[in-house]
Amino acid sequence: MPARHACLLGAMLYAFGFAMFAPHPVHAQAGAEIGAKTGARVGVQAGPPSGASAVSPAETLLFETDHLARVKAPAVLVYAFRKVSNVEPGFSDKVQLDLAKGNSRTRATLHFLSGANKHDIPTLEEAHGNPVLLGFLERDIAEMKRLTGGSAGYFRKRIRMALADEAQVSAQTITYQGKTLPAQAVRIQPYLNDPLHARFEQYVHKTYTFIVSEQVPGGVYQLRSSLANQAGMVVARTGGAGAALPAIDETLTLLSVTHSQR
């Protein structure tokens, strides 16, 4: 991977306090560089220091890929968001990513949901990685904290460790605007092998699926967190016999991209 592409989204995640998602300790330096700059400028790190652990294929796909390289700004990417749940009311909404051009940079503003569900992140003044990934993970962690009373830092750490050590990466095809395209899927179950999983037994089988493709605008086709599996929506018990079994499925899917002449 060219040095200028390395650690793009990882550095962005550091800029917003998501250090646990960064693939390498090297991002601490990138984060410090970002903090010294105005706004949320994404830094570029030449590569991991000698002796650093290798970046996993999952981390490369999600955090070290220039997702926005093939999107010509100005542009607007629209994603559909759907929540289905037996724990609380579900809903459908939209996520919008505005990309603006300026000084040979791409400025990204993410509008993540609306109304009471709104969960925006600060504008990125120099974006490379697709911030929709950050928005999805940030909201998911906030929801896990709200539903379980657990620590946001704990959930970040489990996701980070799963992406580094336990992620399954597989090839698949997707259908976008009537076209069948190649894609790759990253799947993790961050709480399954956690020694402390008894504290969050309801969510021990929660599965995250990230589907990315170079053939779609913005590189990210679909993000999903779910307690569902092929056997049905119910996978974890919340209590004794007869107790309700939680089913929560949240999916974000790319709908369209619109280019303007500004």
* Parallel, antiparallel or unpaired: strands 207-212 and 248-259: unpaired
Closest CA to 79 of 258, 249, 260, 259: 258
Residue where one domain finishes, among candidates 39, 63, 87: 63
Structural domain containing residue 48: 3-63
Residues 98 and 179 in one domain: yes
Closest CA to 140 of 11, 28, 21: 21
The token pair that represents 194 in the structure block: 């956690």
Residues 112 and 190 in one domain: yes
Residues 59 and 88 in one domain: no
Residues 131 and 168 in one domain: yes
Residues 134 and 244 in one domain: yes
69 falls within a domain: no
70 falls within a domain: no
Domain count, the chain: 2
Residue 164's pLDDT is 92
Residues 10 and 95 in one domain: no
Q: Tens of pLDDT along the chain (262 residues)?
A: 333 333 444 444 544 444 434 443 333 333 333 233 323 333 233 344 444 568 899 999 998 899 998 899 999 999 999 999 887 899 999 999 999 987 778 899 999 999 999 988 888 888 888 999 999 999 999 999 998 888 999 999 999 999 999 999 999 999 999 999 999 999 999 999 888 877 888 888 899 999 999 999 999 999 999 985 444 443 333 344 444 566 889 999 999 999 876 5
194 falls within a domain: yes
Tell me, rounded to whole angstroms, the distance of Cα 180 from its chain centroid: 23
Residues 42 and 133 in one domain: no
The CB density around residue 122, as the number of other CB atoms within 10 Å, is: 12
Residues 106 and 32 in one domain: no
Residue 204's pLDDT is 87
Residues 123 and 98 in one domain: yes
Q: What CA dihedral angle connects 159, 163, 167 and 169, to 10 degrees?
A: 130
68 falls within a domain: no
Place of tokens 């996701």: 159
The token pair that represents 224 in the structure block: 């999903």
114 falls within a domain: yes
Residues 53 and 90 in one domain: no
Is residue 147 packed enough to be buried (19+ CB in 10 Å), middle (13-18) or exposed (0-12)?
middle
100 falls within a domain: yes
List strand residue ranges (DSSP E) for 21-126, in order.
75-85, 91-102, 105-112
Distance (Å, whole) CA 7 – CA 10: 5
40 falls within a domain: yes
Place of tokens 């460790």: 161
Residues 129 and 182 in one domain: yes
141 falls within a domain: yes
Residues 47 and 97 in one domain: no
